[in-house]
Every structure is written in structure tokens, then in C-alpha cells.
Chain A
Amino acid sequence: MRLPRALPVTSIGLSILLLSFAAPAQKRRPAKARPAVRPPVVSEINTEALIALLKRESDKPLLVNFWATWCDPCREEFPDLVKIDAEYRRQGLDFVTVSLDDPPDIKTRVPKFLQQMKATMPAYLLVASDPEPAITAVDPKWQGDLPATILYTSKGEIAYKHFGRLNPGELRQAIDKLISK
């Protein structure tokens, strides 16, 4: 606020002086804003590997989010998922995302979106000519509607599931129940 008021009364010399201060500040800013993470690597996953992932043996609960860049509610809820990952990963939650975009998108729009979101959880893209076995393996009652967020216990049982846009409070409650056990 002070700067615009001061400007009309400054001499050209003072303007140059101000600019000389402003220049290094501008240089510093991009360095600060530079994302700390590289473009995320998105790995292909087939149906068998997905099933193995869901049934893995671990001492940690697993959260899986199925999404696609073409899905509006998926994109809208993603910042909440990134926050949840940041909050709960150090408390012992494993979190992976599975994109249902087309295979060529694995090197383009999928990592681009994940980078924009500053998402660091392991990211997969399902490669399956027939999506049905994967959908049924995740949950026989799931019709394939996106987004879908499923929380598995460390034993691979479904503790919580939500189809459609996420309710972050509800998901946090479900994670808290598993983490505090």
C-alpha cells in the first residue's frame, strides 16, 4: 500500500533505486515457488497387480483413490486427498492413487495434474482392455462410477468406501479409527 502512494512523488532516480531493489526480489521469488517435487512418475498397473496390491500383507492400512483427469469431481476432491496424505502418511497410512485415464495419458496429463496438485503418493494407471475384473475385485457392488475411495485394513478388508465426491471429514474419521487401533 505504501509503494503506490509514494511513487507519484519519487524522482526518476528513486524509481531506479526501487527497481534495483525489486529486481533481486523478483529473482528470488521463482526460486521459492519452484516445486520441491519432480513430475510424479505414474506406473502402469494391470488387473492382477492391482488385486495383489489390494490384498497385500502389511501392517498399515491402505487408502486407494480411483480417479481420472476427465472426471470433474475427481479433480475437485484431489486437494483434500493430498492433505489427507500429508496428515496421515507419517501416522502409518499407505495411500495410492489409480488413474483410469487412457494409457497414453500416463506420461502427459496424469503426471501433469498430479504435479499441479503436489501429490506425492504412489500413482498408478490401470491398463486393462476389460475394466470389469478390476472393478469387481475392488468391490463387487461397485458399478465403476468415479471417483471411488476405498480404505482397506492392514488385513486387506474394506473398512470404508465412498463412491462419488469425497466427504473428507467422514474419511478422516474412518482413518482415525484404523490408525488409533
Chain B
Amino acid sequence: MKDFAEPLARLIDELKRLPGIGQKSAQRIAFHLERSSREDAERLSAAILDAKDKIKFCSQCNNFTEVDPCRYCTDPGRSQEVICVVETPYNVVNVEKTREFNGRYHVLHGALSPLQGIGPEQLRLKNLFERLKGGQVKEIIVATNPNVEGEATAIYLSKLIKPLGIRVTRIAMGIPVGSELEFADEVTMLKALEGRREI
């Protein structure tokens, strides 16, 4: 005998497919939805479908957007000379939160990961090189994650972009703000020393 009624079991199965949602979380969300009103459930399903139907990739930077090109690519107040390359659309939000970056973005939708079969062909690189052809871009900031995959992607990109005469920089890696040197491992400490700056 099944533990749950068939429609509820199906809902739990669908929720379990979402990232970070296990069996117990899926059950909790499913029971919450079951207890909520029909209007709440309709609003949620409409929001999911609306996002699915209306959100697309920006043809220039590959960010998720409702209008193409996206607001970052069309904002005249943003510099066209600097492009920040990130792995995912939510990394754009992280950089934006600093309120210090006034250039444009390019989203790769991944990083080089041989173990997952992700090579350069799987990354959205083609339109990045089309953007570099115009001659307006003076600097590429590679803001991929500070891990093995992100570092490999950064070095791969720099080897392709530097010969075009464009400055390639990498976001600093090292000791997080608020932590202590005592707990830093050798790789983190080495990267912090490599990325030191004059004060």
C-alpha cells in the first residue's frame, strides 16, 4: 500500500526533483500546499508558468531576462569597456549587491568540469567573443567561483582573450572578511598572498 494518496505522492515526487529538496522537505511543502487555499496554489502554479513562459536568455550576455537585450546590456549609464564574466545568473545579483560595479555582464551558465563532461563547447562563449570584436571592451573581469572548476575556466578564458589585446583580471581569492588567519589552509593563504595589494 502506498504511503500517500496518488496525487499527493506525485506532487512529492515532482518537488523532490528540485535542487536541495529531499523526501522530508518535499513532504513538508506538499502538505503545506494541500492545507493552503486553492487561490494560493493557483497563484504559485501561475507564477511558475509565467516565469517559464516569459523568461529567456539575453542574446548579448545570456542573463535571464524578460526583455531582450536585458536591462544591464541596454543601460546607457553602464560602461561598455568592462565585462564581468560569471558562471550563473544569480552571480550577477551577488556582484550587483556591491553597488560598485558599473560595467556589463556575461553569463557562461557553467564552468569547465571534465568530471561532469562540461567542456568549452558546453559553455556560452560564442557571443562573448562576438562582443569583443567591436573593440570597445578594454577589460574582462573573470568572476567565476574560486574552486577548481572556476579557476580552470578563468585560466582557459584568459588564454583565449589576452592575445586579443584585452586586459583580463580575476576577482581576488583568499581570506574571507571576518574570518581569522589561524584557520586558513595553504591554498587559501597562497592565493591571498598572490592577490595582495598595496595600501
Task: Indicate, yes or no, whether A interacts with B.
Answer: no
